[in-house]
Structure 1
Amino acid sequence: MLSLFKKYPSVTTMELAELAKGNIRLLDVRTPSEYQGGHIVKAQNVPLNTIESYQPTKDQPVYIICQSGMRSKQATRILSKKGVEAINVRGGMSQWHGLTKKGK
């Protein structure tokens, strides 16, 4: 049976906190103002409305976070269709308990 809801890989914010100790690529797909209000230090801001034009190198997975997990799930789907190993961060920034940075 064909599923309409394809499962995409995902991690929890706790798993992301461990992964972030290493060298990971993390995209924050929230708006620039949300991002500047507080984001994970390693996160690069690529708002969801610009994700189609994002050109990552395909040598490492891309972790994607937003506020709640809904926009990051959309971004994960879009990038996966482009052949990128994209991984959604479930719960988003609302579940993140690690350090954040304000501004750009």
Structure 2
Amino acid sequence: MFGLFKSIPSVNTAQLEAELRNKPMILDVRTPGEYRVGHIPGAKNVPLNTIEQYQGKKQAKLYVVCQSGMRSKRVASSLKKKGYEVVNVRGGMSQWSGHVRGGTN
């Protein structure tokens, strides 16, 4: 299995919540409608269908979140292939118990 699949690091939602004080870069890959209903404060909405156009800083660690952890895992894998340092958030927003913000920012 070595060399074929590079594993994607992951954290659970409690670990991400503890990391918030460091102001991590969080990509929320859910639809704009899902994002508006409630998202992690500071998360940037980059919907799954637009992720190919994402042009962020490659030296910054990216935490990728979706609703359940499935879309974010796919996105994290894709971004890792492009040279980004990525961390998948297991359980996604369905497991998030921290503060959420509604709206578009």
1:96 partner letter: W
Q: In percent, how many aligned pairs have the same letter? A: 55
SS at match of 2:44: strand
Q: Which runs of 4+ in 1 moved over 3 A?
A: 1-6
Displacement, 1:7?
1.8
Partner of 1:29: 29
- TM-score, length basis structure 2: 0.93
Question: Does residue 80 of structure 1 match 2:88?
Answer: no
Partner of 1:96: 96
Alpha-carbon displacement from aligned partner over 1:55-103 (angstroms, at most 9, x marks no partner):
1111210000000000000110010000000110000000000000111
Question: Does residue 16 of structure 1 match 2:16?
Answer: yes
- Contiguous gaps of at least 5 residues in structure 1: none
Distance in 1, matches of 2:59 and 2:82, equals 14
Aligned length: 104
Displacement, 1:21?
1.3
Distance in 2, matches of 1:18 and 1:33, equals 26
Distance in 1, matches of 2:5 and 2:73, equals 12
Partner of 1:67: 67
Moved more, 26-35 or 3-12: 3-12
Distance in 2, matches of 1:67 and 1:22, equals 23
- Contiguous gaps of at least 5 residues in structure 2: none
Displacement, 1:4?
6.1
Distance in 2, matches of 1:59 and 1:79, equals 13
